[in-house]
Structures are given as structure tokens and as C-alpha cells.
Amino acid sequence: MGGVTAPATPDDVAAAARRIEPHVRRTPVLDVEVPTPGGPRRVTLKLELLQVTGSFKVRGAFNRVLSAPEVPPVGVIAASGGNHGLAVAHVASTLGLAAEIFVPEASPAAKVDRLRAVGGRVGVTVGGALYADAQEAATRRAAESGALVVHPYDQVEVIAGQGTMSRELEEQAPDVDTILVAVGGGGLIAGAACWFEGRRRIVAVEPATSCALAAALRAGHPVDVEVSGVAADSLGARRVGDLPFAAAQVGVTACLTVSDDEIVRAQRHLWSDVRLVAEPGGATALAALLSGAYVPEPDERVAVVVCGANTDPASVATPRADG
């Protein structure tokens, strides 16, 4: 689109990969057959739920901190529904830094308990009902303390770090045509757009109850949306980031939405057929295929990013009463 440029370059992503390589996992890919309305399809799963701390977030967090000229003595600060906070806490613990993590009341107990278990110099503060409230509280606190802010998605360094997932995926599955990526604030899909630069089709998938990117694309700029639903703890950004929106404008092919029921069905499929425990946000991209929201061409090779595992396993393995 005229005048719009991606916030990070492939060189930024490659530099991030070198920087964070000692601290993150090269997550595997797995080829599986999944049921779709048009019949069984062979797809490649990028298992980012096996990443350190259980989600891709640690990539961007490490790159942000390691690329900073210096980290103040008070350490780092972040707001998170859970996954980003776990990542920043892990980075701080690994590098011997202090960290203050603001979480919303909506964060699942499983994620908050893991955060508190980090211990050491990591503090956890509840900062409002939803993620946006926690982010506002963290921003105020950072202005007071001078801590290094590690934003979950709206920083170039974070986006470049998240782009390392796509760089790996291209090396592991070079014949893939299309990548399906779940979207909350937009950091992961922005990293994909910045790495691939149009060399692959990149499809955004959002919960219908938390669809900040779809609303922004309709409006032509980021706007506030209502947030609710089963994946709100990880994909519940009230507004897509400015930098991810710029990346989406130049690098995202389509933006789809799926229902909460479709997300839960994708979670249960990953457990029953692949024996993977994915959180709702981690199963959202796959829900687009299983539900028929995304229909590939007959010979199209599709990869799906399974981006998070931080949930109570019992919530996935135990069938609901309604089946």
C-alpha cells in the first residue's frame, strides 16, 4: 500500500536469530492429516507451543532486552495476559535482572501461578480487569521507575524476535505456500510479514470475539474493539499495535475470524489426534482450517502455527458436557 513500509527487515530478523539463539529452542515441525469440510488435508504444524515458557513470546522478549544499549538497575517491566509475562520473567531470571509484570484480572490462574513461581527478582502486580488496563498501569509505572519496557507486540525489536519463528519455519518446510497465524496484538504475524516480504501467503486468524486486526483493516487504522471469549487471555488485545498494523498492510494476505466453539474444537483435535495440549489462542489458527473459514487450493501446502501451550491440561483432555 502506498507509503506503508514494514517495521522490521529480514536483516533485523536474522540479527535477532543470532542474538537469541543461545536462549531459545528451535521448535519442531510436524506433518499431520487434519479433517476439513472439503476432506482430509495434509498440513505442517509449527510447534511453537514447545518453545521455552510455552509460547513464541520468549523470542521477542529476549531480542528486546539483549538489543537494548543498557538495562536500568530497576530492570524490565511488562504487561501481559500471561504468555508475554512468562517470557519476560524468564528473560529476567536468565539474565539476572529484576522484572515487574502487570497482569489483568482476566488472566488464567494457571498462567499467574507460573509467573509467581518464577520467584527471584520477578514481581507480579494485578493491574485492572483486562489486558489494556494492565498495559496502562505498566506504562505509568515505567514512567515512574525508569524500567526498560518490553512491549508484547508494538516494538521493532519484539517484532524482529518473533520473526525468527518464520525464519525457522522456512528452513524446516521450504515448500510451504501459506502460513496461518493467530493474532492478538499482532507481534507474531508482523514478524512473519517482515521476514517473508510477500514470498508466502500469510493468513491472520482471530477469534470473532476479539478481532482487533480485522477491525483495523476495515477502518484503515487501529481502533478499539470489545474483547471477550475463550482466547481473550492471549489474543485479547483491545487494539492491534501500530507497527503490526503497518506490517499487516504490506504482508498479510487475508484476515479471518473463527468462533469460540471452533477454537475449542481445534484444541480438542490437537489433543485427541496429535496429543498436544494447546491453549485456546494456540489452537486458533488451526480452527480456520477445521471449520472451513480457510479453504486451501487442492495443491496448496499449508503450515499452521500452534503458538501456545499455557493452559490447564484438564481443560483440554476432559470433554465438555455438550460434547
Q: Given a cut of 70, is residue 272 above it in pLDDT?
A: yes
* pTM summary value: 0.94
- Comparing 222 with 315, the larger pLDDT belongs to 222
Query: 139-168 pLDDT, tens per residue?
Result: 999 999 999 999 999 999 999 999 999 999
Q: Given a cut of 70, is residue 28 above it in pLDDT?
A: yes
State residue 321's pLDDT score: 40
As a whole number, mean pLDDT of residues 182-192 equals 97
Q: Given a cut of 70, is residue 76 above it in pLDDT?
A: yes
Domain 57-149 indexed as CATH 3.30.70.270 = no
State residue 128's pLDDT score: 80
Q: How confident is the model at residue 291 (pLDDT cuts 50, 70, 90)?
A: very high
As a whole number, mean pLDDT of residues 224-246 equals 93
Instruction: Please give the CATH number for the structural domain made up of 10-56+155-317.
Output: 3.40.50.1100
Q: Cell numbers of 298, please?
A: 487442492
Q: How confident is the model at residue 283 (pLDDT cuts 50, 70, 90)?
A: very high
Beta bridge partners of residue 302, listed in sequence order: 43, 178
Q: How confident is the model at residue 315 (pLDDT cuts 50, 70, 90)?
A: confident
Domain definitions of the chain by residue range: 10-56+155-317, 57-149
Q: How confident is the model at residue 322 (pLDDT cuts 50, 70, 90)?
A: very low
Q: How confident is the model at residue 319 (pLDDT cuts 50, 70, 90)?
A: low
Q: How confident is the model at residue 15 (pLDDT cuts 50, 70, 90)?
A: very high
301 sits in which H/E element: none
State residue 80's pLDDT score: 85
Terminal-to-terminal C-alpha distance of the chain: 45
Query: 92-137 pLDDT, tens per residue?
Result: 999 999 999 998 887 777 778 888 888 778 888 888 887 778 889 9
State residue 316's pLDDT score: 87
Burial 44-60 (b: 16+ CB within 10 A, else e): bbbbbbebbbbbbbbbb
Q: Given a cut of 60, is residue 175 above it in pLDDT?
A: yes
Return the percentage of the chain with pLDDT > 70, whole number.
97
CA distance 127 to 135: 8
Angstrom distances, CA of residue 226 to CA of 34, 58, 131, 139, 182: 32, 27, 12, 21, 18
Beta bridge partners of residue 179, listed in sequence order: 202, 303
CA–centroid distance for 68 within its chain: 22
Q: What is the DSSP letter of 1?
A: -
57-149 shares the fold of 10-56+155-317: yes
As a whole number, mean pLDDT of residues 281-291 equals 98
As a whole number, mean pLDDT of residues 10-36 equals 98
